[in-house]
Structure 1
Amino acid sequence: MITCTVRYEIDPDQLGAFEVYAKAWLHLVAKLGGVHHGYHLPHEGPNDIAYCHFSFLSLADYEAYREKMRADPECLRAYAHAQATKCIRRYDRSFTKPLFVGASVDELGL
């Protein structure tokens, strides 16, 4: 499994518009085969930074999602919303391998 983390620099005056965008992508990632782990909007601290995390079984599955996304009318509408409202100033992505299942210290031999 691979998880994509997106760090957004957003316009704090357009937080409502960014929230609309985020809600659309929560639906769209699932629709296109991924698992969304949610958006994390500013609360305390910087008012212009937000994050999201979503996973695919493999990097190849993520790349297939990117191809489908470019042709999906709902995805294009979500992007158009972000452009029209200018709620996103910039973003960057990073990829990690998630670890979801823990074990007791006895099981781990610690």
Structure 2
Amino acid sequence: MQLTVGKTKSEATIKVTIEVMSWLKEDFGHEGWDKLVFEEAISPRTSIMGLLHLMADKYPKFGHKAFADSRQDFFDYCAVILNGSFLSAPTALNTELKEGDNIKLTPGFYGG
């Protein structure tokens, strides 16, 4: 008798696409003029902030800059765009990601 073993809900993952723009690519170990695009498999119900923390663990240079203050509970290192929409409210970073979502990280906009 052969048993078929499938993934349990706790082992299931979803895939999201991450695009890193401009000089931020260097924080991810990427050099060159082309944009950096990669897929990341994450647990269902992962928030955008959760993904940013995962990226900080995986890419220490990004982590040191993005979360330089370990007490920081907000994210202002770069602009975050979800499926083409800028996330301007800090609470938007609590949005749970879904299969196929596109997250773009781009340098923040400053000036007046």
Question: Normalising by structure 1, what TM-score?
Answer: 0.26
Instruction: Select the structure with the greater relative contact order (CA < 8 A; seq sep ≥ 6).
Output: 1
Structure with the higher fraction of residues in helix conformation: 1
The structure carrying a bigger strand percent of its residues is 1
TM-score normalized by structure 2? 0.26
